[in-house]
């Protein structure tokens, strides 16, 4: 049974609050593609996404960013009966004392029969803001 993009956004927020890489990856359809600052990253299957999302949660902790990451707002723009663009605004409060900040990513929602999830994201704002504050983030 499908729940729709609004419920998926709320569930994604909860997975992030739970710091659960597998639950985060459970919101993706495969192949899942991430467009970030001119780079393209791809998860071809659930196992790859599970490992990458768990690693990203751990990296946030190692870097001192922490994982108090939550949705403060979102807007769903229907594209068709089975797709939408979800503009999600996130907020983070780092554990190392760095002032928190907000950013907006865009996620592509898709329903395929009884299956639904995000099939892509554009995360330029997230990574640009993160690297401005934590320039060595990806070397940790």
> Quick one: tokens of 17?
């609050």
Say yes or no to pLDDT of 131 above 80.
Answer: yes
Q: Name all domains of the chain by residue range, CATH numbers in brackets.
A: 5-139 (3.10.450.50)
Q: Which residue has the tokens 């299957």?
A: 45
Beta-carbon count within 10 A of 92 CB = 22
Rounded Cα distance, 52 and 59, in Å? 10
The mean per-residue pLDDT over the stretch 70-97 comes to 96
pLDDT in tens, 21-47: 999 999 999 999 999 999 999 999 999
C-alpha distances (whole Å) from 102 to each of 19, 49, 54, 106 are 18, 24, 22, 14
How does residue 2 score in pLDDT terms, banded at 50, 70 and 90? low
User: What pLDDT was estimated at residue 67?
Assistant: 82
25: exposed, middle or buried (C-beta count within 10 Å: 0-12, 13-18, 19+)? Answer: buried
Say yes or no to pLDDT of 95 above 70.
Answer: yes
Rounded Cα distance, 60 and 56, in Å? 6
pLDDT in tens, 103-121: 999 999 999 999 999 999 9
Of 17, 24, 69, the residue nearest 51 (C-alpha): 24
Q: What angle is formed at CA 34 by the lines to CA 133 and CA 68, rounded to 5 degrees?
A: 45
> Quick one: tokens of 128?
């640009």
Task: Return all residues near 54 (Cβ < 8 A) that are at least 6 apart.
Answer: 21, 22
pLDDT in tens, 54-64: 999 999 999 99
The mean per-residue pLDDT over the stretch 56-74 comes to 93
Size of the chain, expressed as the number of residues it contains: 140
DSSP 8-state secondary structure symbol assigned to residue 94: -
User: What pLDDT was estimated at residue 1?
Assistant: 46
The mean per-residue pLDDT over the stretch 76-95 comes to 96
């Amino acid at each position: 049974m499908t729940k729709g993009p609004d419920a998926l956004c709320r569930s994604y927020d909860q997975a992030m609050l739970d710091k659960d890489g597998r639950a985060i990856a459970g919101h993706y359809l495969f192949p899942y593609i991430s467009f970030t600052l001119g780079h393209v990253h791809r998860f071809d299957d659930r196992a790859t996404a599970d490992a990458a999302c768990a690693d990203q949660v751990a990296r946030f902790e190692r870097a001192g960013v922490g994982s108090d990451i939550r949705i403060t707002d979102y807007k769903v723009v229907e594209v068709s009966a089975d797709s939408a663009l979800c503009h999600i605004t996130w907020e983070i409060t780092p554990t190392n004392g760095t002032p928190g900040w907000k950013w907006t990513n865009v996620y592509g929602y898709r329903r395929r029969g009884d299956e639904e999830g995000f099939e892509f994201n554009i995360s330029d704002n997230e990574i640009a803001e993160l690297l401005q504050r934590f320039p060595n983030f990806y070397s940790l």
